[in-house]
Structure 1
């Protein structure tokens, strides 16, 4: 089954001008960097979730996200955050071009998550990693979805937001 994902509002997003901004401070109309170009934010999706994944990198950066967030592996393939294990190398924006995952753990603390609809592109640079924007999806095992299903209310709200565009 295909699944989308989201990142915590505290994730540092790479802006077009070279600065970084917390995801919760990114607004409609702002320009962020994708892996290959700048992209304008068309809409911002924000909600609370009490289950997530924390990915700790060798750089010290930490990405907190939902289990279905697409993350690009160093070799170019995409995978859901729930599939990432320590020792895996992830695509990194800038130098070095890849970073090693040090630790991955599930969290059960309520966090504010977000994601973006972009005018062009389907990726975001967050905490130096190449991750999926809302339009990017990855394949997730059905068994996992039976255990930790994404909230139907959230999906309904996102569908309503898309209809408004």
Structure 2
């Protein structure tokens, strides 16, 4: 909206400005008015901005569609990976089951070995004790035999000598 410089100059003079000051300020206001925007200018700018935002929205709509497709691909890949991990988990469960079976067999074998060891230990102890008793009897009988022979020799020696 243009400014009436003559009217502005008269008002400034009435306020106490010199003619030269009043005209300078009026010209300055007129120059400033040329750089200011009217309502129509603002509506035109708003319209242009709306058009640009619509174009940007369209472009982002395309980008959103691409992101949606990428998300779908990631979901597909994620499902595929989940299925594969599920199969791997099943295999690990099978392996765990086999290890449990092996552990059970190992425990049974260990128990059998311990039982056999105890049985063999008992048999060895019994045989050792029997051999020990037999050896004791043998030694005792030999000592008794030797003592009897000694007594016989002493008795014979006493008889013959005396």
Same-fold status (TM-score > 0.5): no
Larger-gyration structure (1/2): 2
Relative contact order, CA 8 A, sep 6+: which one is greater?
A: 1
Q: Please, what TM-score do these two structures have when normalized by structure 1? A: 0.16
**In proportion to residue count, which structure has more helix?**
2
**In proportion to residue count, which structure has more strand?**
1
